[in-house]
Amino acid sequence: MSSSSSSLPLNFVNSSSSSKLPLRSIPGDCGSPFFGPIKDRFDYFYNEGRDQFFRTRMQKYQSTVFRANMPPGPFMAFNPNVVVLLDAISFPILFDTSRIEKRNVLDGTYMPSTAFTGGYRVCAYLDPSEPNHALLKRFFTSSLAARHHNFIPVFRSCLTELFTTLEDDVSRKGKADFNGISDNMSFNFVFKLFCDKHPSETKLGSNGPNLVTKWLFLQLAPLITLGLSMLPNVVEDLLLHTFPLPSLFVKSDYKKLYHAFYASASSLLDEAESMGIKRDEACHNLVFLAGFNAYGGMKTLFPALIKWVGLAGGKLHRQLADEIRSIVKAEGGVTFAALDKMALTKSVVYEALRIEPPVPFQYGKAKEDMVIHSHDAAFEIKKGEMIFGYQPFATKDPKVFDNPEEFVAHRFMGDGEKLLEYVYWSNGRESDDPTVENKQCPGKDLVVLLSRVMLVEFFLHYDTFDIECGTLLLGSSVTFKSLTKQPTFDHNFFQLPAKLGLRMEFPNPKTKRIPKSENSLGFGFINYKKNNHNKDEKQRRKKKEMREERGDAERAAVSPSGGEHQGRTCQF
């Protein structure tokens, strides 16, 4: 095991020692049925804040397992009482779908109206014991598998847009709001992946991310505080946490999204129908998958990734750039095989997912009476009780990870890979795979891949960058202050195919074969295929070339100060 891991035996959870732990009654008090939950809600949002809420109770009860109420409570949740899990050992009980029911618990102790999803309970709200779960999850998994050759090229083309905007904003305004730019990129990527066209070619135009964000906000408002000083807490609490916000506010927005997907994802919806799923049900599920699961997840993931890499500073940037550039050069491109060889880049992605898991809450109801274990005690849970895991504490468990609050870039390299079984961001262990029997995210491998490609592209383009960061409603905010361009790397080598209207095709990692098609040109082990959905790409490139003619030199370091390294800043 690496120096960054503790001496905990990795099979601790299943070891016989856990059965010898003392049985302890679960500490904690949920208070009276009405005032208890309201008091906890105020402590959680206003008096203590999220992390402090859990920390004070963990210290008070001297236990990582205790009882509390989780927001929203009255009048939105029928029963807000939960058993809280805060350590890496008890947390995985939530992944055991033979003992935990995952019906309608995606958002916690309340469920938004199905009017937000066309009247359907979509896949993420279904328990694996419901037959529709397997059908829908199989549909998603096969749709992803069929598109796997597009993952890297489509994402890279979306990143090219992201970099153009980032550079423009930094050079014009002296700063760039990464969250907004990343949100647009994520929406474009998800839409292009499933619909084979840029959303700007549909009635959505560039409005897709705004429509989804409004729709997400109304569903997740009970879990959010706006943190506005001019809005009294009592008023905010009444507006966001007491009664469900009506779906009527976003009815027309949702309709626009639904129609755009319905019109553009015909081949995907044909696949769904051939599997026995009704076309409209498949489309509502697709909107949820694209908007809530994928876009919603990326909305918090990418800023968190860039935040931790940005704050780690120049030394890590140099190490990443060295690894990425040498492997890309040796492998001849950004391929699955090249990405797989980047040990540091891989570790950095896992470390970001560990230290700031994009979806911090997991819920499940006990299907039977059971005994669960923390590091030092066993606890009895009764059938029907709601169990809640707060993931940022579980994946920063000091008994599993050394320096858990520190971003340790190389944590998962070498022997450290064994610690991946304690990385839970996908609602399962990183060492496990999503199946139709479990509730693990079917986008797990795609998400890890995209995060790697994002770092690869960053360090193919730039040597280093400076950021400022803060917090937003659902995660971190990142503002770029400067970007220092990589002066010597030959971007043209990798951009030439796109300039010629060709798109790269990569070997299937299983068969190691390049897909054969009529109009593809063999070029080493990458194929270049005539690109016929590339209009937006051409326009973007033309704009970029015109800008470059206007004065590329002054942008060699895209920084208000001419590229000088500004030093790190962070506004927490």
Interface residues with ligand HEM (CB under 6 A) are 102, 106, 123-124, 137, 140, 144, 289, 293-294, 297-298, 301, 358-359, 362, 425-427, 439, 441-443, 446-447
- C-alpha to C-alpha distance for 554 and 255, rounded to whole angstroms: 45
Q: Is 441 annotated as a binding residue?
A: yes
Closest CB to ligand HEM among residues 455, 557: 455
Closest CB to ligand HEM among residues 61, 155: 155
Which candidate, 176, 260, 268, places its Cα nearest to that of 211?
260
What six digits make up the tokens of 92? 């995985």
Find all residues with CB under 8 Å of 9, minimum gap 6, and list them.
Answer: 15
Find all residues with CB under 8 Å of 205, minimum gap 6, and list them.
Answer: 199
In the complex, what is the shortest distance from the CB of residue 408 to ligand HEM, in angstroms, rounded to a whole number?
21
Number of H helices, E strands in the chain: 18, 14
Which candidate, 231, 279, 274, 228, places its Cα nearest to that of 258?
279
- C-alpha to C-alpha distance for 107 and 89, rounded to whole angstroms: 23
In the complex, what is the shortest distance from the CB of residue 357 to ligand HEM, in angstroms, rounded to a whole number?
8
In the complex, what is the shortest distance from the CB of residue 306 to ligand HEM, in angstroms, rounded to a whole number?
13
Closest CB to ligand HEM among residues 94, 514: 94
Strand partners, 82: 68
In the complex, what is the shortest distance from the CB of residue 503 to ligand HEM, in angstroms, rounded to a whole number?
21
What six digits make up the tokens of 222? 């009970």
Angle at 524 between CA 520 and CA 525, to 5 degrees: 80
Closest CB to ligand HEM among residues 47, 114: 114
In the complex, what is the shortest distance from the CB of residue 30 to ligand HEM, in angstroms, rounded to a whole number?
22
Closest CB to ligand HEM among residues 138, 197: 138
Longest CA span, the chain: 73
Q: Where are the alpha helices (DSSP H) in 332-469?
A: 336-340, 343-355, 391-394, 444-461
In the complex, what is the shortest distance from the CB of residue 395 to ligand HEM, in angstroms, rounded to a whole number?
12
Closest CB to ligand HEM among residues 199, 497: 199
- C-alpha to C-alpha distance for 442 and 432, rounded to whole angstroms: 11
Q: Which residues are annotated as a binding site?
A: 441
Q: Which residues are annotated as a binding site for heme?
A: 441
